[in-house]
Amino acid sequence: MFNADVKRAAVLGSLFVAGLAGCGSDSNAPHVVDPTLAAQGKDIFRNDTFGDETFWTDTLMMNQVIQTAVDPTTALMVGLKVDAEALPAEVVAGVQDGSISLTSTATTLALLKLNAVVGVKGTVETANGVDTLTRVGITCALCHSTVDDSFTKGIGKRLDGWPNHDLNPGMIISLSPALDQATKDVYASWGPGKYDPRYNLDGVIAPPAVIPPAYGLLNVNKVTATGDGNDLAYWNRYVSVTQMGGHGSFMEPRTGVSVTHGTDDQVSSKLPALQEYQLSIPAPPPPAGSFDQAAADRGKAVFTGAGKCAGCHSGDTFTDANSKLHDPSEVVSEPEPNDGTSYASRSATKKYRTAPLRGVWQHPPYFHNGTAATLDAVVETYDSRKSLGLTADQKADLVQYLKSL
């Protein structure tokens, strides 16, 4: 297992991975986004490591791994993304004509110098014409941004708030020479788009959770998968300290977690602006032509009627998370029987929140554990586990309605 430093620190991404938290209070009053504060938060979301270089460099030694083994082709294979808008014209031309190698680690260092690798911040020092990656850290954007692939697969304009389901965080972490083989094997087993934000704290080997979206959170409370905190500040602190390894403190008496890194708190003062930016990110509308409108109209009637969906997926945000949480026995994605390793059993609430549905078309696989690969599979799971008795036409129409949200 981890040594003591690695156990206390943490490993990845911001804003979850099991999920993100809601809008800032339990009040029903609508939140109005402050654009100035949100702009500050955008920079934090994209560029602030909260001092986590201490963990990723000094403990995990990932700078050495990147320096010697991670060329751009490898980086793209494990789901890292490149911000095309950060690339100078000569670099774009070099990639297109092949004069810039995508199989050289030197190119990776050049991209880090340009701040072009989404969610990864590196300090590259040059001596006698040779670049060396001396420090590396991660930001919220690593897990909770992707790109539109407008240049090529994995390279394009940023899409903040979109979960990076190509990212293989466990595989990346398993490359660290600081970990023993058993721990490496656990991380490597998770697969793309999944991450267990409890493992490094409780040591339980359990199915990982799906990296969730960080958009569409305005006026939604308790939108972590288990609703542990009442606002985004709770989960942002949890992730930045216990998962990213940022300098600060997080305490949760309900789970016995108490983690402090460093003596210089680089987290607390940034939480309000970071939350404001996240709240400003709307859920993406469905692409034109991606669903059948007539079928979706019929599916809405199924959603509110025979499908019994609206009982929990209620209101404009399609969730009752602002008022209640649900026992695992109510959740159709929970394994039967529950063996005690479910995500809820390791959480502070021991319950689940109802997932909001805006933009649900965008982020398969579905359910917190990714057990439904498609919206069709979601509907089939509900129909079977809830004994709804939906017809094939009702199921098809309901899927079209979900695609329209």
Widest Cα–Cα separation across the chain:
72
| pLDDT bracket for residue 78 (50, 70, 90) | very high
- The answer on 173 and 266 residing in a single domain is yes
- The answer on 298 and 273 residing in a single domain is no
The answer, yes or no, to whether residue 5 has pLDDT greater than 80, is no
Mean pLDDT of 61-65: 98
**What's the pLDDT score for residue 129?**
87
The tens digit of pLDDT for each residue in 303-342 reads: 999 999 999 999 999 999 999 999 998 999 987 655 666 8
**What's the pLDDT score for residue 340?**
64
**What's the pLDDT score for residue 337?**
56
The answer, yes or no, to whether residue 234 has pLDDT greater than 60, is yes
Q: Which of these three, 280, 308, 340, is where a domain ends?
A: 280
CATH code at position 321? 1.10.760.10
**Concatenated DSSP letters of 199-213:** HHHH----PPEEPPP
The answer, yes or no, to whether residue 12 has pLDDT greater than 50, is no
How many structural domains comprise the chain?
Answer: 2
| Cβ neighbours around 397 below 10 Å, total | 25
For residues 238 and 249, give the distance between their C-alpha atoms in angstroms, rounded to a whole number.
8
**Concatenated DSSP letters of 207-264:** PPEEPPP-SS-TT--S-SSS--SSBHHHHHHHIIIIIS--SEEEEETTTTEEEEE-SS
| pLDDT bracket for residue 28 (50, 70, 90) | low
**What's the pLDDT score for residue 222?**
84
Query: Which residues are CB-contacts of 137 (< 8 A; sequence separation ≥ 6)?
Result: 49, 51, 52, 53, 55, 56, 57, 120, 121, 122, 244
Domain limits at 91?
Answer: 4-280
Mean pLDDT of 267-288: 97
For residues 277 and 33, give the distance between their C-alpha atoms in angstroms, rounded to a whole number.
8
The tens digit of pLDDT for each residue in 176-207 reads: 999 999 999 999 999 999 999 999 999 999 99
- The answer on 384 and 238 residing in a single domain is no
**What's the pLDDT score for residue 335?**
73
Domain contains 288:
no
Q: At what angle do helices 35-47 and 271-280 cross, to 10 degrees?
A: 100
- The answer on 369 and 261 residing in a single domain is no
For residues 314 and 357, give the distance between their C-alpha atoms in angstroms, rounded to a whole number.
10
Q: Which of these three, 258, 280, 302, is where a domain ends?
A: 280
Mean pLDDT of 238-252: 98
- The answer on 230 and 125 residing in a single domain is yes
- The answer on 266 and 358 residing in a single domain is no
- The answer on 323 and 252 residing in a single domain is no
Q: Which residue did the predictor score with more confidence, 130 or 138?
A: 138
Domain contains 286:
no
